[in-house]
Structure 1
Amino acid sequence: MENTLLLYDWMALGVAFLLSCLTSYYAIPIIIRAAKKNHFFDQPDHNRKLHIEAIPTLGGVAIFFAFLLSFAINPWANIIEGFPYIVAALLILFFIGLKDDLVVLSAKKKLIAQISAAALVIFGSDILISDFQGVLGLADIPHWAAVIVTFVTIIGVINAVNLIDGIDGLAGGVGVISSFLFGGAFFYTGQLSMAVFSLCLAGALLGFLYYNFSPASIFMGDTGSMILGFLLSIQAIQFIGLGSYPEFYSLFGNAAPILAVSILALPLFDTLRVVFKRLRRKSSIFEPGKDHIHHELLRMGLSHKNASLLLYAESIALVSLMATLSLFNIGVNLLLGILLFSSIVILPTNGFKRRVLASLFGYNWQAYRRQKWGIEFNHNETTPINNTATSEVASQNAFSDTKEQREEADSMVV
């Protein structure tokens, strides 16, 4: 009986994953044709937007329907407490995101929609972060504090994912990696409802990535990024709860909160570094800009494809490191410190590492770059100047700038 049930479980998971992937895969061409017919494009502005052609932005429509269809008809959908409230929250984000992709909404209206979606999940589904499991010396926290922490988590992850959706394949790829990691943990602990939840999202994103990976023929838009961020936040909150399961605790101890953060480290770290950078130069943290991690990598000369692949690898490296260390029952606060330090070392940091090297060892990265590769960066663009003659002119111009101008330009380089 157990073997039959196990076989049935595997088959149901596989069917849900394939249905989600194929639904997204076959829906995208239809959406692209409809977008072209009705002129629903994201137009390049030759400034912040990095594409050079008009691209449809309705990929989130396919992600939404592929996920919802494949998950709603699987045998475990009703096991998730308050699933109708999750669907209601998804619908709010879907229509607000769709309207923003078509006519552009203010940040205030989108924030209200995100707060409404979070409230439906928190009060309707009782999805809460109520136990810090020793992080910062905290364990169980009062209900009111759990509500606040969960609100911040959901809204924070939604906007963090939205911020990294800036180059071909990045947000979708990070979503696939995160969902597979979350899903593997859910399956290992027997939480099949959440395992299929993760697989349905991963499948929807994979079908979308076929068309979104560089060179992209469609973007997910705010519809897709808000839905993706919302669904990842739900997985992260439920993942933190795995700390109370013996199967999980026997392997990773009380490291569930740290592992959840490490899985989403890239979008969270990018958000923190952008906020810090804008506060330092006294500019608005809500306005769009070209100061995200992917912008820095493009300025270093990487293509969209290579930048996305590099960030995939760095994300996996961070999770692998944290998972390995947690096997040795290291304290959660020490793990948190290692995660923060590792993120700074592995991910771009606005030139922080370069400045530290320069102050400690007198290391001049820019001079080495000019000598070794003959590369200068135009800080107003996203591509390096590889032509040697042009590089020499650029170098002379750079040294003719004022000290303040050079320092401001230097802060734009990783």
Structure 2
Amino acid sequence: MDYPSKRRVNKRPVPRMGGVAMALGIAAALLVEVAGEALFGWAGFYVEGSGTVNHAGVMCGLLTIVCVGAMDDVYSLKPGMKLAGQVLGAAIIAASGLLLSSIANPIGRGFIEFGWAAYPLTVLYLVCFMNVINLIDGLDGLAAGIAAIASFFLFLIAFGRGMEETAMLSIILLGATLAFLRYNFAPASIFMGDSGSLLLGAMIGVISLMGVMRSPTVIVLAVPLVIAAIPIADTAAAIVRRLYHHQPIQQADRKHLHHMLLRKGYGVRKSVVIVYAWTTLLGIGAWVISSTHGLAVWGMILVLLVGSFLILWKLGIFDQVLRHHYHGRHTRREDKPTWYGKHGR
């Protein structure tokens, strides 16, 4: 149960094992796919296999991540133990062949091969996505809605590029998040907990990696990063903020994006809808990027990232770091004694 506290928005105890429900929904869809391939000859992926990816291993990695999150929801694991569980789940996925092994050279011909570094890069990539979604999960329906929007645009992009496997996983994730939002949108009757937020982050990471493996271009890698720009920026700001104040990175606070929106007086529902709209615009931008070539791609990415940064700045997400530093210097400059301050006018 998630009990009310100073950091919580909920005013009453709410169950927080919704991540298990989403995991079961995703598992049910995958079982239907496997059964259809085995019994009815559906053209598919999980029975025949595709490339070097062991799909059963990927699912075992996702299951490990869900179990770690569920244990944290029940027993409140120590940060180090929780991180170790995330790394274990990501390592199982990487060992199953789903790797960020190469990327097209953005400034020349050929590919950049990562070699043995592909394994730690993949683990780092997946763990970062898990924690990005975990940290944004602070309001009813926020994380699930962001994941739903992200999976919808990932589906459109994958379908348009003929990445059937990536498109299928995207639409499965969309179905699970939309079904969960029925009970999670404010006022929520159930929370996803860490089992849900870690699962959603891992799923988005897995889907994007499958896309990169099928089409190892910078654009395919950039698309999920652009769509998830809001939680990524919020997480980056939180890390910098806590390091600046000499606080542990894992220490919770009330200075995230959704907290800023609440302080602006928007309320829970309006705050969530604002982030939904913002994520949708980023998704549209990512969709445009996926069908654009040359310098226009980098121009669009730059516009989206700069625009998002300016919105975050306006909302005050960087107040505790950049503005504090600026005002500190400005104040020291103003406090410096002038000639007439010493001797009178």
TM-score range, shorter chain: 0.7 to 0.9
Spell out the pairing of 1:76-155 with structure 2 (5 A cutoff): 76=44, 77-78=46-47, 79-80=49-50, 81-131=53-103, 133-134=105-106, 139-155=111-127
In the alignment, the residues of structure 2 paired with residue 90 and residue 354 of structure 1 have an alpha-carbon distance, to the nearest angstrom, of 36
Query: Which 10-residue stretch deviates more, 208-217 or 312-321?
Result: 312-321
Aligned counterpart for 2:288 among listed residues 315, 320, 324: 324
User: Which residue of 1 is the match for residue 184 of structure 2?
Assistant: 212
Distance change (3 Å), C-alpha of 1:302 and 1:146: same
Residues 152-201 of structure 1 show CA distances to partners (whole Å, capped at 9, x for unaligned) of 21000000000001100000001111111111222222222222211111
Choose the corresponding residue for 1:62, options 21, 37, 60.
Answer: 21
CA offsets 1:290-316 (integer angstroms, 9 cap, x no match): 111111101111111111111011112
Counterparts in 2 of 1:236-385, with a 5 A limit? 236-243=208-215, 254-324=218-288, 327=292, 329-330=294-295, 333-348=298-313, 351=316
Equivalent position amino acid for 2:3 in 1: Q
Change (3 A) 1:325 1:159: closer
Could you tell me whether the CA contact under 8 Å between 1:241 and 1:256 is conserved in 2?
A: no
1:281 shift after superposition: 2.1
3-state SS, counterpart of residue 295 of structure 2:
coil
Indicate conservation of the 8 Å contact 2:106/2:218, yes or no: yes
Any conservation in 1 of the 2:22–2:177 contact (CA below 8 Å)? yes
Residues 333, 143 of structure 1: alpha-carbon distance in 2 compared, 3 angstrom cutoff: farther
**Counterparts of 1:157 and 1:196, CA distance in 2:** 20
Aligned residues: 309
Q: Deviations for 1:225-248, whole angstroms, at most 9, x for unmatched residues?
A: 11111111111222334545xxxx
Q: Is the 8 A contact 2:289 2:301 kept in 1?
A: no
Return closer, same or farther for 1:349/1:86 CA change in 2, 3 Å cut-off: farther
Letter in 1 for 2:12: E
Counterpart residue identity of residue 284, structure 1: P
Where structure 1 has 5 or more consecutive residues not aligned to the other structure, the ranges are 1-40, 245-252, 359-402, 405-414
Alpha-carbon spacing, 1:350–1:276, altered in 2? closer, same or farther (3 Å): farther
With the length of structure 1 as denominator, give the TM-score of the two structures: 0.69
Q: What is the distance in 2 between the residues matched to 1:319 and 1:225?
A: 20
* Cα offsets for 1:80-121 (capped at 9, x unmatched): 521111121122112221111112111111111111111111
SS at match of 2:186: coil
Cα distance in 2 for residues equivalent to 1:228 and 1:129: 23
SS of equivalent to 1:131: strand
- Aligned-residue Cα RMSD (Å) equals 2.7
Tell me by how many angstroms 1:136 deviates. Answer: 11
Give distance in 1, aligned partners of 2:132 and 2:110. Answer: 25
The TM-score normalised by the length of structure 2 is 0.81
Q: Is the 8 A contact 2:289 2:297 kept in 1?
A: no
Distance 1:277 1:93, change over 3 A: same
- Residues 1:230 and 1:325: Cα distance change in structure 2 (over 3 Å): closer
Q: CA, structure 1 residues 143+101, in 2 after alignment: closer, same or farther (shift >3 Å)?
A: same
Greater Cα shift, 129-138 or 278-287: 129-138
Rounded to whole Å, the distance in 1 between the matches of 2:78 and 2:283 is 35
Assess if the C-alpha contact under 8 Å between 2:129 and 2:202 holds in 1: yes
Map residues 6-25 of structure 1 onto 2, 5 A cutoff. none
Q: Which secondary structure does the structure 2 equivalent of 1:73 belong to? A: helix
What residue number does 1:42 align with? 2
Aligned to 2:339: none
Alpha-carbon distance, 1:275 to partner: 1.0
Matches of 2:24 and 2:316, distance apart in 1: 41
**Identity score, percent:** 29
Q: Please list every run of 5 or more consecutive structure 2 residues that lacks an aligned counterpart in the other structure.
A: 38-43, 324-330, 333-345
Equivalent position of 2:335 in the other structure: none
Bigger shift: residues 191-200 or 336-345: 336-345
